[in-house]
């Protein structure tokens, strides 16, 4: 563990190269790879193409610097709790985002669809990362087009990392929720942070004593609405970190109580309501 030397340049270069390769490959109809790419770049690009095809079929995904950006620490402190920020500056054009962690065995981490009560300019969530990987964010615009951004993240072992407590203990209070608000001021979106207590067992975590794998149990759907209007709906996966936390923003005109409905893959369902802060100015 003494050999860690930060190499942010190569990390940046790598994801940049991957993005370049991708755009080049797409210009050539996806059949050829850019010359000069290393074996690893080629391998990573091919994997992304396989994943993209399994999720989006033959739909074209264009690279973008404007419609979506993905940010994450280049080297994560805890691979089972990696903060990801998705930024969609042209928020009025955004219908949905997809988060894909290329090298996770289950790469499709989240699909978030925004509703009329959302301000989709920024979403933050925490994920598990299994290996040094490209993280792809794909924005879906209201006219049905797909745009992608990529970031290389160094983290390892996040999907199988045990929680350090018994399964029963980890499940205690599952479905409890909290929500915090940070008011943006007059006419600005209200930022909200939703915290859900749930171990989000990945099914890849081995109980170190019994050597059994803890069965997968994770939040697979999260619906948030404001006064009956959809803020967002998220399809989640085992790549979402335990005790999911998601930051999002409400449209300035979104009023009334926020309702959250969460379900997990074991058919448990939880529903909570939160009052939005009353405007103070």
Instruction: Report the interface residues with other proteins, using CB under 8 A.
Output: 1-5, 7, 38-40, 43, 47, 50-51, 54-55, 103, 105-108, 130-132, 154, 156-157, 159-160, 162, 202-204, 206, 208-209, 211, 213, 215-216, 220, 237-238, 265
Minimum CB distance to other proteins, residue 262 (Å): 17
Q: Which is nearer to other proteins, 85 or 235 (CB)?
A: 235
Minimum CB distance to other proteins, residue 155 (Å): 10
DSSP state at residue 261: E
Q: What are phi and psi of 85, to 5 degrees?
A: -120, 130
Q: Which is nearer to other proteins, 53 or 172 (CB)?
A: 53
Minimum CB distance to other proteins, residue 84 (Å): 19
Minimum CB distance to other proteins, residue 2 (Å): 7
Tokens of 190: 């209200």
CA 155 to chain centre: 15
Tokens of 44: 């990573």
Q: Which is nearer to other proteins, 50 or 92 (CB)?
A: 50
Q: Which is nearer to other proteins, 6 or 279 (CB)?
A: 6
By CB neighbour count within 10 A (0-12 exposed, 13-18 middle, 19+ buried), where does 65 fall? exposed
Beta carbons within 8 Å of 233's beta carbon, 6+ residues apart: 112, 113, 115, 221, 222, 223, 224
Q: Which is nearer to other proteins, 66 or 165 (CB)?
A: 165
Q: Which is nearer to other proteins, 191 or 237 (CB)?
A: 237
Could you identify the residue written with the tokens 């033959």?
58
Alpha-carbon distances, residue 171 vs 80, 105, 125, 228 (angstroms): 17, 24, 20, 30
Alpha-carbon distances, residue 206 vs 39, 159, 168, 203, 215 (angstroms): 33, 11, 14, 8, 9
Alpha carbons 205 and 216: distance in angstroms, whole number: 9
Minimum CB distance to other proteins, residue 178 (Å): 27
Q: Which is nearer to other proteins, 47 or 69 (CB)?
A: 47
Minimum CB distance to other proteins, residue 216 (Å): 4
Angle between helix 39-56 and helix 8-27 axes, rounded to 10 deg: 60
Give which of 210, 217, 237, 226 is closest to 261, Cα–Cα. 226
Minimum CB distance to other proteins, residue 163 (Å): 13
């Amino acid at each position: 563990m003494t050999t860690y030397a930060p190499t942010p340049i190569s990390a940046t270069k790598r994801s940049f190269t991957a993005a370049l390769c991708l755009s080049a490959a797409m210009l050539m109809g996806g059949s050829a790879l850019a010359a000069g790419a290393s074996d690893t770049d080629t391998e990573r690009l091919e994997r992304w193409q396989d994943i993209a095809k399994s999720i989006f079929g033959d739909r074209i995904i264009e690279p973008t610097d404007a419609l979506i950006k993905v940010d994450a620490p280049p080297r994560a402190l805890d691979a089972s709790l990696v903060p990801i920020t998705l930024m969609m500056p042209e928020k009025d054009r955004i219908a949905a985002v997809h988060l894909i962690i290329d090298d996770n065995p289950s790469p499709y981490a989240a699909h978030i669809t925004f509703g009329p009560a959302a301000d989709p300019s920024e979403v933050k969530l925490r994920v598990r990362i299994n290996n040094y990987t490209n993280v792809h964010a794909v924005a879906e615009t209201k006219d049905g087009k797909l745009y992608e951004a990529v970031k290389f993240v160094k983290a390892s072992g996040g999907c199988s990392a045990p929680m350090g407590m018994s399964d029963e203990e980890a499940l205690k209070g599952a479905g409890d929720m909290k929500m915090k608000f940070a008011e943006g001021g007059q006419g600005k979106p209200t930022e909200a942070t939703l915290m859900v207590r749930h171990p989000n067992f990945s099914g890849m975590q081995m109980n170190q004593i019994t050597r059994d794998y803890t069965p997968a149990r994770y939040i697979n759907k999260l619906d948030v609405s404001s006064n009956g209007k959809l803020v967002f709906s998220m399809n989640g996966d085992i790549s979402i970190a335990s005790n999911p936390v998601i930051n999002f923003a409400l449209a300035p005109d979104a009023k009334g109580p926020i309702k959250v409905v969460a379900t997990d893959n074991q058919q448990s369902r939880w529903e909570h309501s939160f009052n939005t802060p009353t405007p103070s100015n």
